[in-house]
Amino acid sequence: MAFYITTPIYYVNAKPHLGHAYTTIVCDTLTRFHRLLGEDTYFLTGTDEHGDKIAEASKKEGCPPQDYVDYVSALFKITWPKFDIKFSDFIRTTEPRHKEVVSRFLEKVNDKGDIYFGEYGGLYCVGCERFYTEKELVDGLCPDHKVAPKFIEEKNYFFRMSNYQDWLIDYIKQNPDLIRPERFRKEVLSFLSEPLEDLCISRPKTRLTWGIDIPFDKNYVTYVWFDALINYITALGWPDGEKYAHYWPYAEHCVAKDILKPHAIFWPTMLQSAGLPIYKHLNVHGYWQMDKDKMSKSVGNVVDIFTLREEFGVSAVRYFLMREMNFGLDSEFSYKRVLERYNSDLANDLGNLWQRSITMLKKYSGGIVSSSALSSLAQDSDWENTLKLLVKDYTIHFSHMRPSEALKRVWEFVSSLNKRIDVDAPWELAKSEDNRQKLDLVLASLVKGLALIGALIWPVMPITGEEFWRRLGLAPESITLDSAAITLALGHGKVIEPGEAFFKRAEKEPEPGAKEKQVSSKDSKEKAPEGRPEVITYDDFAKLDLQTGLILEAEAVKKSEKLVKLTIKLSDTLRTIVAGIRKSYTPEELVGQSVVIVANLAPRELMGIKSHGMLLCASGPDTLSLLTPSREVPPGSQVS
């Protein structure tokens, strides 16, 4: 079996925020879950870079559209790995591969006779990049952007979407889980009960040039939605790519309800017209809200995901998002709620279970799981059935796009193990040698339970799941839900240590970076050399990768007087470097400066932010001075 999942490609008129992070983490989680099932997975994300909205945003920033989209797209691309999101491909609609596929697709639909030239007048919302009917407006305003749409009349190309209305209704009825959850399927069918209009798919170049040319009329560019949706097949190399043949039959899209209509109506009719199979599922979720309003850049109520990550750590942020939102319903965001879940689910339930179990294993059994107890446990059908049922329920929930329910089920098991400790009271059993067998059995069941929990939480909290396995003496690369395989692997006879607490209770809002450090790498413990040799060889010097870089962004690190977080452009990548230069430079002074960096320095974590390199500065008597090339050279130039 294969599995192919996509996020929406995000508009580059805003930086990534919690809403984007949610969808992207759902897709990463689902991909990891399918990998656990042994499937061959492909996960696509990317950026949507054409259209009015982007052209306007770049104008506002005062830079050419290509520079602007390069920059914001790179921000998205470098953000996701910081949330342990591992995509297979990152697509940009300004890439040549995409432009080519859009042209081919348009030709195909045109050859079918589904495109015509006509005149249209209508109410257009720039924010949504689409025409609205009077009925769809709320008090005359766009329901999302709360602005009055403009009346626009012009000649354009149209896609005969109305021809496919009856086909689409039948298709949705015959494939009851095509659009899920059910409420969105109903919404689409109700929308389709009214006559469907044809779709305007072009914009005259007199009004907009920032788009993909219509292949049969160079005076027009393609409407951004017609262009954007096609990304899902571009990335697979449609029409002849191997990936297309392999993954497209398993395609799953994941979007929020704001873009239900383009995905549930435009996209399947486009696919049908071009003769391509329809995706397998459209998974639609609700909005993260603040004070009952959709979190969005235009409303200005977005949560900064980096602050959240600094305060609670990646695992906790991912857990919160997956557990708190019922997929399909809206969810209200608050720091208080994050803190509550952090303390109750992670620190109390999960963290305590680990600490109590492994501390007792250490105390009563020298940290070694009894292999005879492991074998007896494997013969205990009640216990094995409990595990089997847990994995089955979990699998069903994830397969039906219910991540929150899947986690809830895992936490029921966590609670049952915590209760088991209270009931079996290993500290009482340990008082008499007669109870040795029973004690070993209880300890073995706790260790086995923790190994399984490590695997079950891995799709949502990869770092924590892997760390569970590492500390249990198991290879994280072999993480599995298979009970027999876990039993076999646990019989290694190595000493298991409890280690540092996974999630320390946070009494008040934790200090930035506090939680992140719990699973931090050993980098921060590295010491600076105390003295310097008088002479080094050229080979020593050649180990340094010194490069020039351009500072694109500078942001003071909260709760630190010295640190600034910098986004630095090298030749074709962006770097995050945290530098202690705030006493000598304001963040505003830093943006636009050319600097010299040590590019191959091991990453270090400073106030919860990973710094990938170091700036070179001269230290004056009371100020620092950045080293900067005396002539202009492109970012990423070698310094030697």
Among 4, 20, 68, 345, binds ligand ME8 (CB under 6 A): 20
Q: How many residues are present in the chain?
A: 640
CA distances, 207 to each of 198, 303, 494 (Å): 21, 34, 70
Q: Is 255 an interacting residue with respect to ligand ME8 (CB under 6 A)?
A: yes
Q: Does 8 bind ligand ME8 (CB under 6 A)?
A: yes
DSSP state of 175: S
Is residue 450 part of the contact set for ligand ME8 (CB under 6 A)?
no
DSSP secondary structure letter of residue 326: P
| Residue of 99, 285, 294, 569 marked active site | 294
Q: CA 450, CA 445: separation in Å to the nearest integer?
A: 8
Nearer to ligand ME8, 259 or 373 (CB): 259
Q: Which of 258, 264, 307 is closest to 282 using CA atoms? A: 264
Q: Which of 229, 274, 552, 564 binds ligand ME8 (CB under 6 A)?
A: 229
Among positions 4, 5, 19, 452, the unique one binding ligand ME8 when judged by CB under 6 A: 19
Rounded CA-CA distance 479/530 in Å is: 42
CB of 170 to ligand ME8, least distance (A): 24
254 is catalytic: no
| Member of 56, 107, 258, 605 binding ligand ME8 (CB under 6 A) | 258
Q: Which of 17, 34, 77, 397 is catalytic?
A: 17
Whole-number Å distance between alpha carbons of 347 and 337:
14
CA gap 33, 23 in Å, rounded: 15
Q: In angstroms, give the least distance from the CB of 348 to ligand ME8.
A: 28
- Tell me whether residue 73 or residue 594 sits nearer to ligand ME8 (CB atom): 73
Segment lying near ligand ME8 (by CB under 6 A), choices 191-199, 225-233, 370-378, 564-572? 225-233
Tokens at residue 621, please?
Answer: 């008597």
Query: Is 200 known to be catalytic?
Result: no
Indicate whether 256 belongs to the interface with ligand ME8 (CB under 6 A). yes
Catalytic residue (choose from 297, 431, 438, 583)? 297
Stretch that binds ligand ME8, among 172-180, 206-214, 255-263, 404-412 (CB under 6 A): 255-263
Strand ranges (DSSP E) for 161-315? 179-180, 199-200, 202-204, 213-214, 217-222, 251-256, 281-285, 288-290, 293-294
331 bridge partner residues: 288
Smaller CB distance to ligand ME8: residue 296 or 518?
Answer: 296
Please tell me whether residue 279 binds ligand ME8 under the rule CB under 6 A: no
Is 612 marked active-site? no
Two structure tokens written together for 494: 């190595």
For residue 146 the two structure tokens come to 């709360």
- Which member of 228, 391, 446, 564 binds ligand ME8 (CB under 6 A)? 228
What part of residues 506-545 is at the interface with ligand ME8 (CB under 6 A)?
none
Give the Cα separation of 274 and 276 in Å (integer).
Answer: 6
Of residues 144 and 497, the one with the C-beta less far from ligand ME8: 144
Catalytic residue among 108, 145, 205, 400: 145
- Could you confirm whether 128 is annotated as catalytic? yes
- The Cα 417–Cα 453 span in angstroms is 11
Site for ligand ME8 in 384-413 (CB under 6 A): none
**Helix/strand/coil (H/E/C) assignment for every residue in 215-245:** CCEEEEEECHHHHHHCHHHHCCCCCCCHHHH
Q: Report the residue number, 72 or 626, with the smaller CB distance to ligand ME8.
A: 72
The yes-or-no answer on residue 125 being catalytic is: yes
CA distances 134 to 119, 131, 156, Å, are 19, 10, 21
Number of residues that bind ligand ME8 (CB under 6 A): 21
Q: Which of 259, 390, 447, 579 binds ligand ME8 (CB under 6 A)?
A: 259
Would you say 349 and 357 are in contact if contact means Cβ atoms under 8 Å apart? no
Burial label for 88, CB within 10 Å (0-12, 13-18, 19+), is middle
Taking the C-alpha atoms of residue 11 and residue 281, their distance in angstroms, rounded to an integer, is: 23
Nearer to ligand ME8 by Cβ, of 78 and 627: the residue is: 78
Q: Is 226 in the site for ligand ME8 (CB under 6 A)?
A: no
Q: Residue 125, SS3?
A: strand
Examine residue 48 and tell whether it contacts ligand ME8 (CB under 6 A). Answer: yes
Instruction: Pick the piece of the chain touching ligand ME8 (CB under 6 A) from 2-10, 111-119, 208-216, 585-593.
Output: 2-10
Question: In terms of CB distance, is 61 or 349 closer to ligand ME8?
Answer: 61
Q: In this structure, are strands 40-48 and 115-125 parallel, antiparallel, or unpaired?
A: unpaired
Q: Does residue 98 bind ligand ME8 (CB under 6 A)?
A: no
Q: What part of residues 285-314 is at the interface with ligand ME8 (CB under 6 A)?
A: 287-288, 294-296
SS (H, E, C) 29-83: HHHHHHHHCCCEEEEEEEEECCCHHHHHHHHHHCCCHHHHHHHHHHHHHHHHHHH
Residue closer to ligand ME8 by CB (options 256, 609) is 256
List 50, 53, 142, 253, catalytic entry: 142
Question: From CA 25, how far away is CA 324, in angstroms rounded?
Answer: 13
Instruction: Tell me the window of 19-27, 197-205, 268-276, 560-568 that interacts with ligand ME8 (CB under 6 A).
Output: 19-27
Closest-approach residue to ligand ME8 (CB): 19
- Indicate the Cα dihedral angle 128, 19, 300, 304, nearest 10°: -150
Contact call for residue 79 and ligand ME8 (CB under 6 A): no
Order the strands of the 202-204 sheet from edge to edge. 202-204, 217-222, 213-214
Query: Of 3, 10, 158, 398, which lies in the binding site for ligand ME8, with binding defined by CB under 6 A?
Result: 10
Amino acid in position 517: K
Q: Which is nearer to ligand ME8, 225 or 413 (CB)?
A: 225
Smallest gap from residue 349 Cβ to ligand ME8 (A): 27
* Residue 396 C-beta-side C-alpha neighbours within 13 Å: 7
Residues numbered 53 to 72 that lie near ligand ME8 (CB under 6 A) are none
Residue 78 or 378 with smaller CB distance to ligand ME8 = 78
Four-residue CA torsion sign, 135, 137, 143, 145: positive
Considering the complex, state which of residue 53 and residue 565 has its C-beta at the smaller distance from ligand ME8.
53
- Residue 6 CB, nearest distance to ligand ME8 (Å)? 8
CB-CB contact of 309 with 82 (8 Å): yes
559 belongs to the catalytic site: no
Nearer to ligand ME8, 214 or 229 (CB): 229
- Contact between 212 and ligand ME8 per CB under 6 A: no
- Residue 23 found at the interface with ligand ME8 (CB under 6 A): yes
d(CA 427, CA 224): 66
| Residues 230, 14: Cα–Cα separation, whole Å | 22
Catalytic residues: 17, 20, 125, 128, 142, 145, 294, 297
| Binding residues vs ligand ME8 (CB under 6 A) | 8-11, 19-20, 22-23, 48, 228-229, 231, 255-256, 258-259, 287-288, 294-296
